Every structure is written in structure tokens, then in C-alpha cells.
Amino acid sequence: MKVSYRWLKELVDFELSPRELAEKLTMVGLAVDRVEEVDGDVLLELDVTANRPDCLSHLGVAREIAVLCGTSVRYPETDQEEDEEETARVVSVEIRDPDLCPRYVARVIRGVRVGPSPRWVVERLERLGQRSINNVADITNLVLLELGHPLHAFDLEKLIGRRIVVRRARAGELLVTLDGVKRTLQEDMLVIADAVRPVALAGIMGGEETGVSETTRDVLLESAYFHPLSIRRTARALAMSTEASYRFERGADVEAPRCAADRAARLIVEVAGGRVLRGAIDVYPNPRPRAPVRLRRQRLRRVLGMDVPWDEAVRRLRTLGFHIERTNGEEVWAIPPSFRVDIDGEDDLVEEVARHIGYDAIPTTLPRWNGYGELLPGEERRRALRAILSALGFSEAITFSFVPESWDALFRSEEMRVCRLRNPIDETRAQLRTSLLPGLLESLMHNLHHGVRSVRLYEIGICFFAREEGERPIERERLGLVATGLLNERAWQDHHRPFGFYEMKGTLEALLEKLRVRHVAFQTSPQEYLHPGQSARLLVEDEPIGDFGQLHPRIATLFKFKQPVFVAELDLEGLLQKGGEAIRYRPLPRFPTVVRDFSLLVPREVTYAEIERGIAELGISEIVEVRLFDVYTGPNVPADRRSLSISVRLRAEDRTLTEEEIAAIQGRLLAHLRERFRIEPRL
Amino acid sequence: MRERVEQVRAQLREELAQVADLAALVRVRDRYLGRKSGLITQLIRGLGALPPEERREIGRLVNDLKEEVEATLEQLRLQLEARAEAERFERERVDITLPGLRPVFGARHPITLIRERIEDIFVSMGYSVESGPEIETSYYNFDALNIPPGHPAREAQDTFYLSEGLALRTQTSTVQIRALERRRPPLRIIAPGKVFRRDTPDPTHNPMFFQVEGLALDHEITMGDLKGTLQEFVRRMFGPQVRTRFRPSYFPFTEPSAEVDFSCFVCGGAGCRVCKGAGWIELGGCGMVHPRVLRGAGVDPEEFTGFAFGLGLDRMAALMYGLEDIRLLYENDLRFLEQFGF
């Protein structure tokens, strides 16, 4: 909200430059975002917090300045000459729903000449960003800016029966509001009606037909108080927000309507002529005096951590407009002014005192504490995981949790149920992800579009799975990886080697090894988003933890990838529960290791894992490791076979192996492979 | 015999002058000092045939010659070896200005860097890290935080709803309530996490961002402690010269509430581009936990007081790394990510 420095000066005495004023207001909680000079005046742009609707006017800001500067506010003139004719004889007001409208004040001005406003009115309005309409409407707007209380002016002659009825709308009732929009009303909306029909949307906007126009002679001025929740609901339901609704929603001053009506009537006569009828109609069936709020000296000390001189505290409350009902050295009972709708408890008074002695005055201390702090369970392993992935060349991504439904569907099985947003910003991204892969692939696409062709990304994040109606969805932390392009783009030796299936497998193996996860196995993966010939499922301790492989070329085409893309997705929560045992050192071997290399002609259908398992079946304890070092197909190898070269490392724990022992092991090994798999040594 | 010695010496000098490498040197050595047929070896052997008076003199001559030859050969060997080594080094010389073969390294996300740093600072101050779900019920996201139905903060324009009672959390303050259900005060926790608001992306907004919530609850926690704690945090995060400023604000779940600013770590408060000329940068919201929030969680506000704060990690990342557009944070452009630490 903008306020005029010059206007404030009319309402309160202070000796502060605009900059100083901005600084002071900011430090009592009225943050000034901007100070701008406009033809001889200075406008301050205030960020008024939702709890302080009383500051949404010049008077409201002036009240805070008066407290700051120890001066007092000059209230605008409201007294005026009244006509012989009595308001109550001309018009009647009935509140049918006092729960939504506790108070309604009406004044009548007869014989106005509606026309353009005088210059001073136009200037004030325009400086603060409002358009001048006509002199009567302008005064209602001016009083809103001045006192903060919204008003509405009706053309009295157009109110059928010269009646005002405040009631809930009937379902389907229609009203064309001042903005020319025809609105269909619902039963819970509060309207101002005349004898037969709604003429205004209470507290939000008047009706077009009954508004003040060139031909208006008699004006009925409405100054009421409406219930904040009712106004907010109606405004939201109709997608409307006006200066009036903004204030009523936050809470207007229930004691302000009479004064605001008087002020406006006085100004209308000043700019548009006419005569104010005698007396106001003021329907206020249940005035509820506010209860005093207690502040204990001990509470003030306890919350702030300092001893504010008690007299000072009480004086601050008094200058803020609180009525001090009673006080002693230890407690004060204060009735908040009617405009302070935010005060309802002791700590609100603590804040009032703190605000005005200044938060700066509160000493800076550190709490005493004899506890200890710790990271989240599993956080150390998560940090290790990030470090390992960095070392493996993967950079960490963070992608949006909402994804296009069609993308997500590619990566989940049909029985999974998804969570949808009821009110997404972007309708095409209305689903909460069940997989990290769509987001990562989108990031990959972004990189490729920007000419970055070798990309390795990972993300650690939550995926969401719906359950039965009324049940909280499941959230599961997952780890996703994507990779494409060259292994090392900046290398100038071997620079053409691409990232492939075995690089992805190796990444996962290295990751698991460094996280000290053991009992790792691989099987074929059933995931349909993977290339059927290059996909694998990762198992730890016989439990599936995730899948990886080449992204199915059909999906790659959907994302317009022209190069093979490799992906992996693991259930991180499941993974972090595995392994991670404390490190125990194994003694280094005391006797030498002998290495024997074999080139084997292996039938195509025999997998490498079968060979490793076959060797393990022999139960030869001297075989300490089998290591693959070459795979070859081509000339000199029959078409139904491939050549696998392995090196077998032999060692005994208690002696140096003899040539005879080595030859015997070699013989058993080859014989077993021949018998079991029809594997022949390649010569 | 004497002439023979001189002849051998002269011949040797001539031959040595021809020696170009170690192989030639070995050949020369063998010819003169070879155990069987070396010329000098033969001379020594021939001494026995001389009469005793000559043997003594000639013997000394031959011996001198032998020593001279050995010394000269050794000297030459050293020279030749040095030369051979120098030649090898020259052959093996590389162009050290060619780029190194660097392994590919990834980088952690800037949000992670900041989150871990904040966690470490607060853990060292005795805080434990807590977490909570990203989908929350209205109870945790609103009611328990003194945001009753009808409050503007609950409106669908700010919150992503899944159903009537479920929404993506709009703040990490939800974890305060969950932590209070798990542990009783006294406690000190921080809760970093992802939050969601219905903001259309622009250079300073994303519909998804990260916050860290803090909560300290004890018998005698004061607003002074809140000030001191955040001052200490800012000092460690941004540097020892950085100051804080607290100004009144409003949050439904704190009373009194404050907005905390810190003096610009770039210009020190004089005003610059980073702080937009203000000298101060907004850090986040904070305050003393509202008694209604405490009572709702079953804590007696007469027995315990506490403070809470909420800081935005994205904003902090933008400030620390000079980002002008925070949308970069979630585009995951490798050219961006690679600029951050290991």
C-alpha cells in the first residue's frame, strides 16, 4: 500500500525526513519497500502484514507515527450541519443476518450535483494510483484511503422501497456489479438488497444499476462492518478482489462505520453540495465490548529476556490506544482499541511493547544447553554416496516433483497409483512423480539442446505413490541416474569411448562396494522402459533394489535422443538399509600369489556369471580371484562361441604353491569347464 | 720393453679418442685390461721374464700405465653414461603444455552444499536434524501452526492441494509439530526440506524450493536467544563481520514475530548490487513460538518457551553464488552444475 508523506503530515506532527520515516516505520513492523518522489510529494510503499489491517490507511499509519514520535493524531473533521429531514423517515435498514453483518450505518445526502471532483480530490486519488470517477464516488474512495474504512454510495431513488436489507443471497439470484459483470449468487453470499433484489455484493462491490451516476440527486451512504470470513469466501468464489474486500477480509474496525460515514457525508456536501439528513441510521444489535488482555511483567521478561521498566511498558500500551483498565507493579489489564483486530492474547501485548521499545534493544544472548546434536539417520551414508557419485563423474540434479503424466507412465508399472494435484500451475504437469527418470531425462534433453552432449546426472529425491482414498500417500526416497555421450570428453587419448552399459553397471558396482554393500547380484530386468537386450535388475541380499540399462530406443525417440542413453533407478531407502557394516581389516597374504591366464572358447549361451559360479563350485580354496580381462568374437573364433580371457589368481594361506599343485588346479579347472559347459581352451 | 709400454700408451690414447659410446668403451677396456689377452695384462705377465733389476723399474711403469688406463676409462664411462642418460631424457621429453588427462568429476548441487553447511553449523550448536513428509495434512501444514480454516495462507492460490485434507507442504514448519510429537522438550532441531507454493516461475520464484526450519524449546528460551542464535549462524555462514537486524513482522505461528536481515556480505552495508542498495539482505522469518502452537502440541507455554525460524536455501544460494535467476537451480544444466564444489 502506498501512503503520501504530505497527507501523513496533515494527520500527525513529526520531524522526520521521508527516508528517516521509512527507516522508523520498517523497524516497528511496517516495512517500507520503496520511497519515491512524485511532484512535490513523497510516496512510501508499505508492506503491511496480514495482521495489521488497521494500518491500511493514512490514519492508521499516522497512529503508529504518533506513537513513534510521542505526538498525537489529528483526527479529520466529521461534524457538520444537518438538515431538518430525518434519515429514518426516508430510508429503512434491516439486518437479517447479523452473524455476517454485525453493524450497518446509513446516512442520506439529498440534492447533490454529481460531476467531476475538484482538483485536490483528483490529485490525491491519482497520486495514490486511483482513477477519479465522479465527486461522490471519489469521496468514498478518499475516505477509504484516509480512514481505512470502505464505504459505498447508492443512488437512493433506485433502491426499491427505499429499503436496505442485509441478507444472504438466494441461490441463483443475479447481480450486475459496477464492473459490468453479471454474477450468479450462491446462498452463502451476503448481499445488500432493497425491497426486492440484491443491489450490492456486501463489502466487495456495489451493483451497477443502483450506483451513483450523473442523474443521481439523493445519495445513501453505506458504512458497515462485515464478517471477514464471509467476505473472503465470497470474493474467492467470484474471483474478485477490491480495496473494500481486501480490508474487510483482514478485519475492519467495528467502531469506525459511524465516524467514516460522517466524514464522507461532510466531504460530499463540500464537493457536490446537497444537505445531510438528520441523524444516521445505525443498526448495531449486539455491540460487544472487548475484554481486557492481561500482561504480566514476569511474562514480558521471560519472553524477551530483558527487564523493560514497567512504567515504560504500560505507557507504550497506552499510547498505542490500549485502555488501561487496571495495573499494578506486576500486571496490567489492557483493552485493545477496536481497530486492533490482531490482539487476543498476552504475547500480543509482549510484541506491542517489544515493537515500540525496538527489537534492537533486546540483548543478544545464546541459550544454555547441555544436549547434543546429530544428523539425520542415514545422512552420513547419503553424503558418502554423493561424494562417490561425484568421483564417478555424476553431477547432482534437482528436478521438479510434478511431471507430465504421460512421461511418468512410461516408467511405472500399471498397478502403481499416482497422486495428482487438484490445482497445478501447469495442467500438463499435474502429477507427482513415481520415478526420478522423467525429470532427469528432461534435464538431459535440456543439456543436449544446449550443446552439452556428454552428460551424467543423478538425483536423490522423493517419489509419491497413492493408496486408498483417505490414506496418506507413500513417499519413498529414490536414487536416479542418467548418462549419455563420451566417457571423457576432454580426454585427447581414447577420446571416442562412449558411456555404455558396462559403465553404468560399473558405476553401480563401485557405488555399492564403496558403501560396503555386499551380496550383490544381477538378473534380467522386466522393466519395459529398458532395451530388452541391455537391461538388468540389481539385487542385494536377494531383494530387488533397482533396474538399469539402456533406455529403450522407442522412449529415446520420444525424447528425441539421437545417441544411446543409459539409466538406473534404485530404491534408496531399501539400499541404505543394506550393508554398511563396520570396516574390519583382513590380514595381507603372507605367501605369493600366482596368476594363470586362460583364453576360453565359450558357447554363446553360457554367461560369464555361470563360468564364475562354475569355478566357485569346484571349491578350490587356493583360487582367490577370477578376473575377466578380454572378450573377443571374430576371426579364429567359431560363430557359435565367444572367447573369454580370464586370469585366475592362486594362493595358499600357509605355503608357497608348488608347480605341481598349480598344474593340478589348472587341470581340474579346465576339465570341469569342459564337462560342465563344453568350454575349450583357445590355443 | 720400455718402448713397448710407451707404444701401448700411445695406441691407447689414440683408441680412446675414437670411443663414442659405452659399447666401444667396453671393447677398449677388454683389449687392454682383458683378463687373458689384454695388452696391459700381457705386459704384466711379461714382467716375470725380465731380469730382477729391470723388473722393478718396468714393473712400476706398467703399473702406472694400468692405473692411468683404469682412471681414464672410468672417467670416460661416467661421461658416456651421463650423455646416454641425457639423450634418453631428451627422447622421453613431453610437451608439458599439453592438457592433463583429467578424470571426469561430478559436483554436488548448490542447494546440497548449502544445506550440508547449515546442518553442520547447527549440529555443532547442539541441534538435531529432523525431517517430515512432503505431502502433509491440513492439520500439520495449517491448523497446528495456528492457521485456522479461512486464513489467507490456506488459499488454493498458494497451496498445491491433492485433496480436501492433503497438500504439498508449503513450509518446513510442519516438522516442528512432528518433532514435538516424537520428542518432548527441551529440544533443539532443524529441519531442512523441500516445500511447494503455487508461484509461477520467474527469476526470483519457483513453485518448488528449499527451506530450513529451526526450533529451540526449553524452560528459559528468550527472544534474546533467538537473536544470538541467528547472529551466530550468520557469522559462521557469511563471515565474522556480518551483522543482523531484527524487525517486527507477522507469522501466525510466532509471537512476537520478526523478519531477520543481515548486513550485506559483499559491501558490508554500504549498498551494492547484491543487496540492491539497501545494505541489508532478508534472511528469513522468525519469532517466539506462539503459545497456541505449543498448547496444540501438548506443551505448556508457562513451562516452556521457544523460538523458531525459517530460512530459504534457494535465496541463500542465489546470494552466495551471485545467481541472477534462480530458475537455473532446477534446470540442471551441466555447465551450471559443474561450477560448484565436488
The torsion angle over the Cα atoms of residues B52, B57, B58 and B63, rounded to 10 degrees, is: 120
Alpha carbon distance A314, A334 (integer Å): 9
Q: Which regions of chain A carry the CATH code 3.30.56.10?
A: 2-69, 293-361
Q: What is the pLDDT of residue A557?
A: 95
Angstrom distance (rounded) from CA A14 to CA A44: 15
pLDDT of B44 above 80: yes
Question: Same structural domain for residues B160 and B233?
Answer: yes
Write out the H or E segment, with its range, that includes residue A476: strand A474-484
Is there a single domain that holds both residue B81 and residue B125?
Answer: no
Instruction: State the Cα–Cα distance between residues A243 and A231, nearest whole angstrom.
Output: 12
Q: Which fold would CATH assign to domain A293-361? A: Phenylalanyl-tRNA Synthetase; Chain B, domain 1 (3.30.56)
Please write the tens of the pLDDT for every residue from B256-314.
999 999 888 888 888 888 787 778 888 899 999 999 999 999 999 999 999 999 999 99
Q: How far apart are CA A421 and CA A430, in angstroms?
A: 5
Kindly report which listed range (A278-282, B12-16, B79-83, B239-243) carries the lowest average pLDDT score.
B12-16
Kindly indicate the confidence band of residue B46, based on its pLDDT and cuts at 50, 70 and 90.
Answer: confident
Q: What is the CATH number of domain A2-69?
A: 3.30.56.10
Cβ density class A432-466: b for 16+ within 10 Å, e for less = bbbbbbbbbbbbbeebbeeebebbbbbbbbbbbeb
For B109, nearest residue in chain A (alpha carbons): A396
- Residue among A345, A423, A492 whose CB faces B198 most closely: A423
User: Taking 90 as the threshold, does the pLDDT of residue B164 lie above it?
Assistant: no
Check residue A473 and give its pLDDT: 95
Residue B330 lies in a domain: yes
In chain B, which residue's Cα lies nearest the Cα of A251? B151
- Under DSSP, the state recorded for B202 is B
Our count of domains for chain B comes to 2
Q: How far is B73 from chain A (nearest CA, A)?
A: 43
- Which CATH number is B333's domain given? 3.30.930.10
The reply to whether B133 and B264 lie within a common domain is yes
Every domain of chain A with CATH number 3.30.930.10 lies at: 379-576
Residues B43, B143 share a domain:
no
Residue that has been written with the C-alpha cell 485493545 in this structure: A336
Reported as type and span, the H/E element at residue A4 is strand A2-4
Kindly state whether residue B104 falls inside one of the protein's structural domains. no
pLDDT in tens, B86-138: 999 999 999 999 999 889 999 999 999 999 999 999 999 999 999 999 999 99
A483 has pLDDT over 80: yes
Predicted confidence (pLDDT) at residue A495 exceeds the cutoff of 80: no
Interface test with B, best of A234, A302, A342, A437 (most B CBs within 10 A): A302
Which candidate, B108, B330, B104, B323, places its Cα nearest to that of A443? B330
Average pLDDT of chain B is 91
Contact flag B220-A421 (C-beta cutoff 8 Å): no
For B294, the domain range is: 110-337
Using the beta-carbon criterion (under 8 Å), do B106 and A376 form an inter-chain contact? no
A373 closest CB neighbour out of B101, B126, B208: B126
Amino acid identity at A557: T
Superfamily (CATH) of domain A82-283: Phenylalanyl-trna Synthetase, Chain B, domain 3 (3.50.40.10)
Examine the domain organization and report whether B175 and B247 are in the same domain.
Answer: yes
For residue A106, give the amino acid letter.
A
Residues B178 and B122 in one domain: yes
Nearest to B332 among A364, A457, A489 (CB): A457
Q: How far apart are CA B37 and CA A561, in angstroms?
A: 80
Are A304 and B305 in contact (CB < 8 Å)?
A: no
For residue B205, the SS3 value is strand
Domain A379-576 falls under CATH 3.10.200.10: no
Q: pLDDT tens digits, residue range A652-666?
A: 999 999 999 999 999
Q: Taking CB atoms and an 8 Å limit, are B134 and A425 in contact across chains?
A: no
* pLDDT reported for residue A652: 95
Indicate whether B130 and B37 sit together in one domain.
no
Q: Residue B341 has what pLDDT?
A: 76
Residue type, B224: G
* Cβ-Cβ contacts under 8 Å, B220 against chain A: 302, 367-368
Residues B142 and B79 in one domain: no
Q: Is residue B15 part of a domain?
A: yes
Between A and B, how many CB-CB pairs are < 8 A? 261
Every domain range in chain A assigned CATH 3.30.70.380: 594-681
Residues B116 and B64 both lie in one domain: no
Q: What mean pLDDT do residues A493-504 have?
A: 91
Topology, domain A594-681: Alpha-Beta Plaits (3.30.70)
Whole-number CA gyration radius for chain B: 43
- pLDDT given for residue A100 in this prediction: 96
Q: How many CB atoms lie within 10 A of CB A230?
A: 22
List Cβ neighbours of A232 (8 Å cut-off, separation of 6 or more). Answer: A245, A249, B150, B152
Q: Note whether residue B103 is domain-resident.
A: no
User: Which is more confidently placed, A495 or A1?
Assistant: A1
In a domain, residue B326? The reply is yes
Q: Are A57 and A146 within 8 A, CB to CB?
A: yes
- Whose CA is closest to A64, among A56, B8, A455? A56
B198/B323 same-domain check: yes
Does any domain span residue B214? yes
Q: What pLDDT digit, counting tens, does each position of B60-82 carry?
A: 888 888 888 888 889 999 999 99
Q: Across chain B, where does the E strand assignment appear?
A: 128-129, 135-137, 166-168, 187-196, 208-218, 244-251, 254-263, 280-289, 305-312
Q: Do A396 and B337 touch (CB under 8 A)?
A: yes
Q: Quick one: B259 and B296 in the same domain?
A: yes
B153 lies in the same domain as B33:
no
User: Are A447 and B137 inside 8 Å of each other by CB?
Assistant: no
